[in-house]
């Protein structure tokens, strides 16, 4: 968890591999019982690290490709996000959240969340399949208070606005009272031309 610059060494005060043993360590957490999309935990991938006050917050997302074979197009999936909150001084694990989401797409847009810190809270904005409809995408965001160990999933004021184009979460720009959102379509699947458009929305 810490770097020693100038020595060429990286020192870890603790080491966690993102595998079944990692998942098994907190499988009895009561917060996990209400989630549905944590089945492929072997596919956990690091998504982001956020510092706020005296907390270090690490995000890992279940992310994988599904290729059915027989020359069929591969699908890119994303599922739940595990949020681990650490003491920034000693890197002791203080709390974990399990953010439920389900996402699948035929091209490389929409996996991962976009993050911003506002007044000590972490806002995590993302895209997910809308009411279990494949290739209809809605918006969501979580507000995480790492001091009080509270995470609340919300629907933005403009609604989930399901669309056939997923949100490019890596291209979101955060402002004080709004975000600049990019929806991206892919010509071979969702239309005759590749198209991207920007939408400014309040959150």
Buried b (16+ CB within 10 A) or exposed e, 151-179: beeeebeeebbebebbbbbeebebeeeeb
pLDDT of 9 reads 44
**Closest to 109 in 3D by CA, of 34, 21, 172:** 172
d(CA 59, CA 49): 6
pLDDT 10s digits, 111-139: 999 999 988 899 999 888 876 666 788 88
Angle among Cα 154, 158, 144 to the nearest 5 degrees reads 25
d(CA 113, CA 153): 13
- Per-residue CA distances from 188 to 27, 36, 108, 160 (Å): 41, 31, 13, 25
pLDDT 10s digits, 83-106: 999 988 888 889 888 888 888 887
Residues of the chain with pLDDT under 50: 1-13, 189-194
């Amino acid at each position: 968890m810490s770097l020693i610059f100038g020595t060429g060494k990286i020192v870890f005060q603790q080491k966690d591999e993102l595998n079944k043993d990692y998942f098994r360590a907190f499988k009895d957490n009561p917060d996990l019982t209400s989630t549905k999309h944590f089945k492929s935990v072997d596919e956990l991938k690091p998504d982001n690290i956020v510092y706020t006050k005296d907390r270090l917050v690490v995000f890992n997302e279940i992310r994988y490709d599904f290729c059915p074979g027989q020359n069929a197009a591969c699908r890119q999936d994303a599922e739940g996000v595990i949020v681990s909150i650490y003491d920034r001084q000693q890197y002791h694990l203080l709390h974990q959240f399990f953010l439920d989401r389900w996402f699948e797409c035929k091209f490389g847009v929409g996996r991962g969340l976009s993050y911003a810190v506002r007044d000590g809270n972490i806002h995590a904005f993302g895209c997910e399949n809308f009411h279990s409809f494949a290739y209809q995408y809605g918006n969501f965001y979580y507000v995480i208070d790492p001091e009080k160990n509270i995470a609340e999933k919300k629907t933005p004021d403009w609604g989930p606005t399901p669309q056939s184009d997923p949100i490019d979460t890596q291209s979101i720009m955060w402002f004080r009272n709004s975000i600049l959102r990019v929806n991206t379509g892919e010509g071979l699947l969702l239309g005759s031309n590749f198209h991207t458009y920007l939408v400014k929305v309040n959150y």
